[in-house]
Amino acid sequence: MADRRYCEDSRGYRNYSERRDTDPYDGRMYGDEHRGHKTHRHKKTTTYKSNTMSTLWTLDETSNRCLSYFLLFVWVIFMIIAWILLVAAVSLPSWVDGTGTFGSEANTVVQTGLFRQCTGDDCFGIPLGDANVGAWIGAAIFFALGIILLLVTIVLAVISACFDSLLVVSKLLMCITNVFVIIGVILVPIGFEQLDDDCPASNLNQCGLTCGADGSMGFFTVCGPWNVGTATYIMVA
């Protein structure tokens, strides 16, 4: 009987041991050793899939985080622009302006605002206690509150990049700010109706804008020769 260790098979292996070492998955091999090779290969495949899923999950989480930071940055930029426009609109005197009869003076350039008024080249501030348009007093208060709350919202939104819990608070304050600003925007045109009233003694604030023969001031209406000014357009923007 030929020694099995020195027999060559059809594949060219010199002996059984060489075939076993070179071709561990040969179909003629049976038993625990063969099953062990298959199990080892299955474990390697499972580990590879697990590592791949973990990598994909990490990349997806990183992408979502970067997207959140980007959207937060865009939101803060828009809020800063809105805050600048709001402050500029409130501080300007040109809510209603034009050239016409102001009190007893004809052909006078007048700009009337919430906190400032200009008559010709003379500009002066209007304290809330000296304002003659009640609706504009309310609008000024709501705008002032909106400016303060919007500034606080911007600060909280920036800090929320490190503390996620503050993002909810900043969104809530943003909603309240929007409500205050919208109320102020509605009150401004309601106050147009009082701009053509006679001015009380020694108080020429927000009054005395004489309309032409074809019209009068009314709610949401400005008569000629007066027009809504730059501050109104900035606020609408």
Smallest CA-to-CA distance from 212 within 100, 130, 119, 108 is with 100
| Calpha distance 108→119 (Å, rounded) | 7
- Tokens 């099995």 sit at which residue? 4
| Calpha distance 142→114 (Å, rounded) | 12
Q: What is the mean pLDDT of the chain?
A: 80
| Calpha distance 178→182 (Å, rounded) | 6
Q: Which of 1-5, 30-34, 85-89, 231-235 has the highest mean pLDDT?
A: 85-89
Q: 18 — alpha (psi -120 to 50), left (phi > 0) or beta?
A: alpha
Question: pLDDT tens digits for 134-172?
Answer: 999 999 999 999 999 999 999 999 998 888 888 899 999
Contact, 94 vs 231, CB < 8 A? yes
Q: Model's pTM, two decimal places? A: 0.72
Question: pLDDT tens digits for 47-87?
Answer: 555 556 566 556 567 777 788 888 899 999 999 999 999 99
Question: pLDDT tens digits for 174-197?
Answer: 999 999 999 999 999 999 999 988
